[in-house]
Structures are given as C-alpha cells and as structure tokens.
C-alpha cells in the first residue's frame, strides 16, 4: 500500500481532518473563480468611439468659433459671404465644415483670414490623422466582453457549468452556491475545458485560483475570469500529525514570503503568455482619444482666431473714429445720443459703412 509523507491542499477544505494531520503556513491564496467565454463587442456607433464625448464637444465648439471668425473677417469685402443672414451663415458653415476634408473652394480676401485658416487646417490635419488611426486600431483589435457575468443568472436559467468532480468544488457548488447536480458537469482535466466550451456542453466553469491563472494565461483572448468572490484559507502542505517537517516547512514559507521570493515565483509560474501581453497592449492603444491629448492645439487655434478678430475690430474702430472726426460737423443733434451712436457703430461694424445724414453711405477702407 502506497503512503505519502506530505500532500498539498486547501487548508479550509482539509480542516475537518485536523485530528490526523497538521498544516503548514499557506504559501498561496486560494479562491473559486468563474471562467466564461467572451464574445465580440460590436456597436453601430463605433465611428464615435475614437474620440470621447468631451473631445467631440470641444471639436464642435472650436469649429463654430472658427466659422464665426471667418465670417466676420470676410463678409465686409468678400462677395461670397454677402447676402441675407441665412446665406451668410450657410456659406460660413459650409466653408469651415468643408475645410475638414480640405474641399473648400471659396476664395478669401483678408490676410487675417488666411492666418486663421493656416492654423485651423493644421489642426484639421492632426484631427483627421488621429481619428483615422484610432478607428483603424479599434476595428483591428477584437473588443471582447464576457457573455455571462452573474452566478444567479446561471442558476435561474438552469445552465450547465463545469468543474473538477474529484475536487471539493463539486460539493461546494451544490451545498454553498445552490447549483442543481444535473446542471454540473464533471470535467476530468483542465485541458478539456476548452473543448467543453466549444461544444456547448458548459457555459461557465468554476476553477480554483491557481488553475484559473494557468487557464487564462493560455486562453486570454477567448475567455475571461471573474474576480474570486469566494475565497478560502489558502494552499499549504499537509503532514501527518506530529511530523517534525511541519514547523520547518512553515518557517521556510514565511522566510520566502518575507523576502519576496514567493511573489517572484508566482509571477514566474503564472506569467501570462506573450500573446496575452500583446493583446493587453493593443487594448490600451485602442482607447478613445480625450481632450487631454489635444487641448494644446485647441488653445493655439483659438488664440490665433481671437487675436485676428481683435486686430480686425481694432482697425474697424480706428477707421470709424477717423470717419467720425472728418464728418462730425454735419451730424444732427439726434445723432449725438448714446443710442444713435451705438446703432451707428453696430451698423458700421456689420456693414463696414456708416450713413451720413443727407449723404450716401461711406464705406470703410478694406483692412
């Protein structure tokens, strides 16, 4: 008859044998983890994923602001930006939006507008390149998600689950988690779980934490594991009652734990495969781009547009005051009121001209 000097097992599960055996210090944590296959995560709104919501809002805001600046700089002298309010806004919006595809055909007359467009087209180039690269990465990398995440759903729908029938897990699923015996399938080896999943015999599998790490390390791209919700005492060595090796092994485990050797060994034994590391890197690279990545170029284009706007407005006001000084003697008293001056100034800023009583409109020189 074959005998053993020591065995390895879960301390919590073997606790009822404490009268005959002794346990060493646990050398690894133990718990029950659920493994489920993953399905591709598809979305009809995938084209919105390259940018975050804040990024889309900021892009729309800077687009509208640039449209206003272009209209303000051009509508005085450019005939393509003249007409009714509807036509002016439509032309400005079309001009700015078509610049996203470098397809605008309207001519610009002001040098200030050209400065604004040079910076804006540079921003558009960066946005287009970033959007294309991010979308291509998301379409290339498989986006996966677990198809089952709830144990209660498994029990409620009578779905079959797999486990090692020779371990304590079978009894634990029945007595603690409440699975029916007919819904639990015995899987002899951890290498058979993939075949059981592919054949549809099981929809989920319950493994102890060390076995789960080995399985996920090999099949990380097709399966995922939940965080071990049900934890046990840990894995340790079991010796016969009174064995002198119990204390020696416990001291050795404590020493390895204190100097970090146990953690090093665990990372070495349960290290994920190279394809799993590459998959994690691809998933990180496929994340949506946020405003934090582009706020610098937005500040540049916004500042440039604002400076050109202020410079153009300064020139308008300078011409307006010079024109008022030249024609101030012919103004009527009613034109000296605050409201009259405000209306005249607003008309001049919008039309680029001012009306002299008893005369014809006088246009301002083109800035």
- d(CA 309, CA 78) in angstroms, rounded, equals 16
pLDDT of residue 341: 67
Taking residues 103-112, report their average pLDDT: 78
Beta bridge partners of 34: 206
Of the candidates 12, 19, 336, 37, the one whose C-alpha atom is nearest the C-alpha of residue 199 is 37
Q: What is the CATH number of the domain that holds 215?
A: 3.40.190.10
pLDDT of residue 333: 44
CB atoms inside a 10 Å sphere around CB 193: 21
In a domain, 308, yes or no: yes
Least confident of 158-172, 181-195, 272-286: 272-286
pLDDT of residue 181: 87
Tokens of 17: 């044998």
Q: Which of 231, 254, 269 is the last residue of a domain?
A: 231
Residues counted in the chain: 367
- Tell me: do 35 and 166 sit in the same domain: yes
* Better pLDDT: 239 or 122: 122
- Tell me: do 61 and 131 sit in the same domain: yes
In a domain, 19, yes or no: no
In a domain, 283, yes or no: no
- Tell me: do 165 and 303 sit in the same domain: no
- Tell me: do 199 and 84 sit in the same domain: no
Taking residues 205-223, report their average pLDDT: 80
How many structural domains compose the chain? 2
- Tell me: do 55 and 130 sit in the same domain: yes
* Better pLDDT: 17 or 75: 75
Q: What digits encode the pLDDT tens for the residues 251-266?
A: 887 777 777 777 777 6
**Signed CA dihedral, 357, 361, 366, 367: sign only:** positive
Q: Write the DSSP symbol of residue 272.
A: P
* Better pLDDT: 17 or 262: 262
DSSP per-residue codes, 288-351: PB-GGGTHHHHHHHHHHHHHHHHHHHHHHHHHHHHHHHHHGGG--GGGGSHHHHHHHHHHHHHH
- Tell me: do 135 and 149 sit in the same domain: no
In a domain, 12, yes or no: no
- Tell me: do 222 and 173 sit in the same domain: yes
Taking residues 56-69, report their average pLDDT: 90
pLDDT of residue 336: 58
Taking residues 327-336, report their average pLDDT: 50
Tokens of 321: 């005051």
pLDDT of residue 280: 47
- Tell me: do 62 and 177 sit in the same domain: no
Given pLDDT bands bounded at 50, 70 and 90, which one contains residue 176? confident
- d(CA 207, CA 158) in angstroms, rounded, equals 19
Residue 365 gets the label, from left (phi > 0), alpha (psi -120 to 50) or beta, of: beta
**Signed CA dihedral, 108, 113, 114, 120: sign only:** negative
- What is this structure's pTM? 0.52
Which structural domain range is residue 112 located in? 48-139+292-363
pLDDT of residue 187: 87
In a domain, 26, yes or no: no
pLDDT of residue 73: 86
In a domain, 259, yes or no: no
Average pLDDT, the chain: 75
- Tell me: do 77 and 107 sit in the same domain: yes
pLDDT of residue 138: 75
pLDDT of residue 228: 58
- Tell me: do 219 and 156 sit in the same domain: yes
- Tell me: do 180 and 318 sit in the same domain: no
Q: Which of 187, 211, 231 is the last residue of a domain?
A: 231
- Tell me: do 185 and 36 sit in the same domain: yes
C-beta separation of 215 from 207 below 8 A: yes
Q: Which of 231, 252, 283 is the last residue of a domain?
A: 231
Is 159 a residue whose pLDDT tops 90? Answer: no
In a domain, 318, yes or no: yes
Given pLDDT bands bounded at 50, 70 and 90, which one contains residue 302? very high
In a domain, 324, yes or no: yes
* Better pLDDT: 286 or 51: 51
């Amino acid at each position: 008859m074959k005998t053993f000097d020591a065995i390895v097992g879960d301390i919590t599960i073997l606790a009822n044998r404490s009268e005959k055996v002794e346990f060493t210090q646990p050398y690894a944590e133990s718990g029950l983890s659920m493994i489920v296959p993953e399905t591709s995560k598809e979305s009809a709104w995938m084209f919105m994923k390259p940018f975050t919501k804040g990024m889309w809002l900021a892009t729309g805001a800077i687009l509208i602001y640039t449209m206003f600046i272009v209209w303000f700089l051009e509508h005085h002298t450019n005939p393509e930006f003249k007409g009714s309010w509807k036509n002016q806004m439509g032309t400005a919006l079309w001009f700015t939006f078509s610049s996203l595809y470098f397809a605008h055909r309207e001519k610009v007359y002001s040098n200030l507008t050209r400065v604004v467009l040079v910076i804006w087209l540079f921003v558009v180039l960066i946005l287009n390149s970033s959007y294309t690269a991010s979308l291509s990465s998301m379409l290339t990398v498989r986006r996966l998600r677990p198809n089952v995440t709830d144990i209660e759903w498994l029990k409620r729908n009578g779905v079959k689950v797999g486990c090692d029938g020779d371990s304590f897990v079978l009894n634990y699923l029945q007595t603690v988690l409440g699975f029916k015996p007919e819904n639990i399938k015995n899987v002899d080896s951890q290498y058979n779980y993939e075949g059981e999943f592919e054949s549809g015999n099981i929809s989920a599998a319950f493994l102890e934490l060390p076995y789960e790490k080995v399985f996920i390390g090999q099949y990380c791209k097709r399966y995922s594991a939940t965080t071990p919700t049900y934890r046990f005492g840990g894995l340790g060595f079991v010796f016969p009652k009174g064995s002198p090796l119990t204390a020696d092994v416990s001291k050795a485990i404590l020493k390895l734990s204190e100097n970090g050797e146990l953690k090093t060994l665990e990372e070495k034994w349960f290290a994920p495969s190279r394809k799993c590391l590459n998959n994690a890197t691809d998933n990180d690279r496929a994340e949506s781009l946020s405003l934090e990545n582009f706020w610098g170029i937005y500040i540049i284009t916004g500042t440039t547009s604002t400076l050109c706007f202020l410079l153009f407005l300064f020139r308008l006001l300078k011409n307006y005051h010079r024109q008022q000084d030249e024609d101030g003697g012919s103004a009527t008293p009613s034109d000296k009121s605050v409201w009259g001056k405000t209306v005249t100034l607003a008309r001049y800023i919008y039309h680029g001209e001012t009306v002299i009583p008893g005369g014809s409109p006088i246009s301002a020189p083109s800035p």
